[in-house]
Amino acid sequence: MKITAKFWIGLGVLAVLSPLGLLLPEHFKAGSAWGEWGANEVQELVGYIPGGLEKLSNLWTAPIPDYAFKGWEEKPLAELSLAYVFSAVIGILICAGVVFILGRFLSRKD
């Protein structure tokens, strides 16, 4: 099997496993997934919002916030898991497309 096939299979496995970010914190009653805190959650955890985070927190809003579709925030975990997988696949396709386009552009022979 070619290395590129193994790479794509590995990415597919990771996309399918992406709902673990939902399931494990829910199972262990840990709140939100580690490192995915917003400014308000950081303030709750450490008592203040770092200046850089406060200044930059409104700069970018995610196209698919919380890895789910609009209105899906209260759906059961099974449906949210599908949204996580969909979000992962979209992210993989966008990254692969950007790398492909950059590769084509940078490898042009003039």
The three-class DSSP label of residue 89 is helix
| Per-residue pLDDT, 106 | 92
**What pTM was computed for the model?**
0.73
pLDDT at 100 over 90: yes
The three-class DSSP label of residue 19 is coil
pLDDT, tens digit, 9 for 90 and up, residues 23-74: 887 778 777 776 778 888 889 889 999 999 888 888 887 777 777 888 887 8
8 A C-beta contact, residue 83 and residue 14: no
- What would the 3-class secondary structure string for 25-86 be? HHHCCCCCCCCCCCHHHHHHHHCCCCHHHHHHCCCCCCCCHHHCCCCCCCCCHHHHHHHHHH
The pLDDT confidence band at residue 110, using thresholds 50, 70 and 90, is low
| Per-residue pLDDT, 50 | 92
Angle at 18 between CA 15 and CA 23, to 5 degrees: 155
| Per-residue pLDDT, 3 | 95
pLDDT, tens digit, 9 for 90 and up, residues 62-80: 777 777 888 887 888 888 8
Q: Can you tell me the distance from the alpha carbon of 94 to that of 98, in angstroms, rounded to the nearest whole number?
A: 6
